[in-house]
Amino acid sequence: MKLARARKRLYGAALCRMPFRSHSAPRLILASASPRRRELLAGLGVPFEVMPAAVAEHEAPDADPREMVRHNAALKAEWVALRCPEAFVLGADTTVFIDQLVLNKPRDLAEAKTMLRRLSGRTHNVYTGLAVRRQCARLALDTGVASEVTFRPLDDATIERYLAVVNPLDKAGAYAIQEGTDLIIASWRGSFSNIVGLPIEETKQILTQCGLC
């Protein structure tokens, strides 16, 4: 499988800059710079550190979204785990899927508007992949979550109003369900936190398997 082979091409391992102290509880590291994931994970009450993974994510628009997010989540977790082998590392990746196309982060405002027009008045899927790695124990846990979101019909004026209050450029599908909700969202089904970027129930379950929750 192409994605599986690509994930093996990790950068050379380096020593973790934050040394592990064997007398303390095992560390949890979030391999993401997303402030939304950081806030959601903090809600579980589990101490963690943040170390964004410097990897090139797979973002082909015609990719299988379920496979793509699981691949990217594992890629991030493995990159950090190689550098901090004693730590538990949590990786996550989220995307939007409609019309057999993956909608990742838009490159500019023009592409963001195009994405919002495509989503207007329709239902789409949101997929998140989760991965936990612990290099010293050869631990690898993976799961995926799906939710559905239905947009209100959006005219150009509404799209402009939405973009005036939300930065779409760091968000898959050019929107955040928790921001400007009344402007664009008609309804959703499934995990709300998954749509935000980190399905909290499933995250709690996978961290419980690690003895962290």
CATH assignment, 2-209: 3.90.950.10
Delimit the domains of the chain by residue range.
Answer: 2-209
- Distance between CA atoms of 97 and 99, rounded to whole angstroms? 7
What is the C-alpha to C-alpha distance for residues 156 and 162, in angstroms, rounded to an integer?
A: 10
pLDDT at residue 1 tops 90: no
Residues 19-46, mean pLDDT to the nearest whole number: 83
Looking at the annotation, which residues are catalytic? 93
CA–CA separation, 88 vs 75, rounded Å?
Answer: 14
Residue 25: band (very low, low, confident or very high) from pLDDT cuts 50, 70, 90: low
pLDDT score for 59: 86
Residue 18 pLDDT greater than 90, yes or no: no
Any residues with CB less than 8 A from the CB of 64 and at least 6 apart, and which?
none
Question: Cα–Cα distance between 146 and 132 in angstroms, integer?
Answer: 18
pTM value is 0.87
Tens of pLDDT, residues 163-182: 999 999 999 999 999 999 99
Q: Of residues 59 and 206, which shows the higher confidence score?
A: 206
Amino acid sitting at position 191? S
Q: Are 53 and 75 in contact (CB under 8 A)?
A: yes
Q: 107 vs 36, 62, 171, 174, CA distance in Å?
A: 20, 17, 10, 10
pLDDT reported for residue 61 = 87
Q: What's the rounded mean pLDDT across residues 62-74? A: 96
Joined tokens for residue 206: 């996978």
